[in-house]
């Protein structure tokens, strides 16, 4: 019956739909403006171009390979850049990062470092603290000249990166269900509340998100920026490592595949999830714990031509 429903609904709606549009511009940082490695940074982690592109999903190839997870962050020099005491990193985006009301949780950009959770019951994945949260002060600019400091926010900190939702925290093989780096963490959550929590609870807290440090441009009272700067104090004892910086695009609630449009692929994903679901399942548009006709009606209302 489910297969029949999928076929009938897909055929009917696909007939009404126009060609799919990409909708989402490149969300990754596009250019390194400057990098001063400072003093005492991690040796060999000196290539700022590693911060261009998406956050790492798999690390340690050829040495000690494994998935990137909150307990096993990216760690090699070809994936991260280090910023020592007195150093800085400035990245630019081709398109401006906007303070957009349709961005999930109001978050406009996310910084991925290589902090991780301490495993209190290795290898089970039980949160016992945070390691590698090495800080880094963040400031933003429209023109690369005038900078606004982001208060109460550090670049290399919680939330640690989650790459795959369907593997163990120390898996060697990648999974099939990738976490979404364009879905920020809910800022109402605090990583410290997970202390003592096991792997399934960690996955539940992340939902579809890949983690990272989220920033709302409203915190600096600015509508848009193109430049992101990370500075480390001259007397700092810790040296942050940066993986990627991501511009979070606006998202329609029923855009389940995150391509900027609502269409047949989203319909198929919703039908696949039909019935009771875990918290954070993207098919549960109205977040009532069940994917049903109410979610389908919401999807049809947002259908893109």
Same domain, 147 and 280: no
Question: In the beta sheet, which residues pair with residue 154?
Answer: 137
Same domain, 176 and 264: no
Give the pTM: 0.83
State the pLDDT at residue 252: 81
Same domain, 98 and 73: yes
- Give the end of a domain, one of 220, 248, 276: 248
Residue 4 clears pLDDT 50, i.e. is over it: no
Mean of all residue pLDDT scores within the chain: 91
Same domain, 192 and 137: yes
Same domain, 131 and 177: yes
Domain that holds residue 6: 1-24+252-305
State the pLDDT at residue 305: 54
Mean pLDDT of 253-264: 83
The number of folded domains in the chain is 2
- Tens of pLDDT, residue by residue over 179-231, are 999 999 999 999 999 999 999 999 999 999 999 999 999 999 999 999 999 99
Mean pLDDT of 236-247: 97
Cα–Cα distance measured from residue 111 to residue 264, given in angstroms and rounded to the nearest whole number: 32
Same domain, 139 and 53: yes
Cα–Cα distance measured from residue 98 to residue 250, given in angstroms and rounded to the nearest whole number: 9
Mean pLDDT of 56-69: 96
Same domain, 304 and 259: yes
Same domain, 125 and 4: no
State the pLDDT at residue 17: 44
């Amino acid at each position: 019956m489910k297969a029949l429903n999928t076929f009938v609904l897909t055929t009917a709606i696909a007939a009404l739909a126009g060609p799919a549009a990409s909708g989402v511009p490149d969300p990754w940082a596009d250019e390194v403006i400057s990098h001063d490695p400072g003093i005492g940074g991690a040796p060999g982690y000196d290539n700022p171009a590693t911060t261009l592109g998406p956050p790492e999903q798999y690390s340690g190839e050829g040495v000690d390979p494994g998935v990137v997870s909150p307990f096993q962050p990216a760690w090699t020099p070809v994936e991260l850049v280090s910023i020592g005491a007195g150093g800085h990193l400035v990245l630019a985006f081709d398109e401006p990062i906007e303070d957009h009301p349709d961005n999930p949780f109001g978050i406009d950009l996310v910084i991925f470092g290589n902090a991780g959770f301490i495993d209190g019951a290795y290898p089970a994945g039980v949160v016992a603290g945070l390691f590698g949260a090495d800080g880094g002060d963040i400031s933003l600019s429209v023109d690369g000249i005038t900078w606004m400091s982001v208060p109460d926010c550090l670049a290399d900190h919680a939330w640690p990166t989650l790459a795959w939702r369907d593997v163990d925290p120390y898996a060697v093989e990648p999974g099939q269900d990738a976490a979404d780096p364009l879905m920020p963490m809910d800022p109402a959550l605090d990583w410290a509340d997970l202390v003592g929590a096991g792997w399934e609870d960690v996955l539940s807290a992340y939902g579809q998100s890949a983690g990272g440090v989220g920033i709302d441009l409203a915190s600096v009272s600015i509508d848009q920026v193109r430049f992101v700067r990370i500075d480390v104090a001259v007397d700092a004892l810790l040296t942050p490592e940066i993986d990627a910086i991501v511009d979070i695009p606006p998202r329609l609630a029923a855009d389940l595949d995150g391509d900027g449009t609502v269409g047949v692929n989203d319909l198929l994903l919703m039908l696949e999830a039909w019935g009771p679901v875990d918290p954070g399942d993207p098919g549960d548009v109205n977040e009532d714990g069940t994917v049903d006709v109410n979610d389908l009606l919401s999807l049809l209302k947002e259908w893109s031509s």
